[in-house]
Structure 1
Amino acid sequence: MAEMLQVTVCYGTAREQFLRALHVAPGTTIGQAVEMSGVLEAYPEINLSTQPVGIYARKKTLDTVLRERDRIEIYRPLVADPKDSRRRRAARKADAAAS
């Protein structure tokens, strides 16, 4: 019998986080592990056709084959544009320095 791989599926909202460790067979893909984890039932708002996934903060496709100790992450859409947020912070800092 082949060794099972230990992986973790992660998803976070503003209020809580989903973190589930799984043992999967070698050759299991990200998409299969996400389905096995139960995250899609717990968070029906997840849409894997539009939301990116990754392993350790590196975007991957759903057909990526998993390795031992991979951490699968399901990413949420950004609430604010990071460039706009940085511009607002810089403007506030400049205003404070001018005062």
Structure 2
Amino acid sequence: PVNVPEGTTALEAAKLSGISDIFPEIDPDMIDMGVFGKVIKDPAAHELREGDRVELYRPLKIDPKQARLNRAKKKGQAQ
């Protein structure tokens, strides 16, 4: 968890977390964000409240339907 002062925006909190140091492919300025599962339209303007959990949404590596199909094919080959 990252504790930030009241009035900090979601974007500022993401930058303060140092997430880009751990995952260089994540750019807080470019990634979609949310709070408790609800997408934030403008993270730079969304002020956080006490207890908010900021979420960073990375693009999916593979379409979920394709992933299911791949697993089914793999399971079918194993039998």
Secondary structure of the corresponding residue to residue 79 of structure 1: coil
Secondary structure of the corresponding residue to residue 47 of structure 1: coil
Q: Matches of 2:20 and 2:55 in 1, distance apart?
A: 13
Contact 2:10 2:43 in 1 (8 A): yes
> Which has the greater radius of gyration?
1
**Identity %, equivalent residues:** 36
Q: Matches of 1:37 and 1:71 in 2, distance apart?
A: 12
Q: Taking structure 1 as reference, are residues 25 and 37 closer, same or farther at Cα in structure 2, changes over 3 Å only?
A: same
Write 1 or 2 for the structure with the bigger share of strand.
1
Q: Matches of 1:69 and 1:37 in 2, distance apart?
A: 15
Equivalent residue for 1:62? 43
Secondary structure of the corresponding residue to residue 34 of structure 2: strand
Map 1:67-78 onto structure 2 (within 5 A): 67-78=49-60
Structure 1 residue ranges (4+ consecutive) displaced by more than 3 angstroms after TM superposition: none
Task: Provide structure 2 residue ranges, at least 5 long, that are not aligned to the other structure.
Answer: 73-79
Using the TM superposition, give the Cα deviation of residue 50 of structure 1 relative to its aligned residue in structure 2, in angstroms: 3.4
Task: Provide structure 1 residue ranges, at least 5 long, that are not aligned to the other structure.
Answer: 1-20, 93-99
TM-score where L is the length of structure 2? 0.70
Contact 2:37 2:55 in 1 (8 A): yes
- Spell out, residue by residue over 1:17-45, the C-alpha distance to the aligned partner (whole angstroms, 9 max, x if none): xxxx1221111001111111111111110
TM-score where L is the length of structure 1? 0.57
- Count matched residues: 67
Q: Matches of 1:76 and 1:50 in 2, distance apart?
A: 10
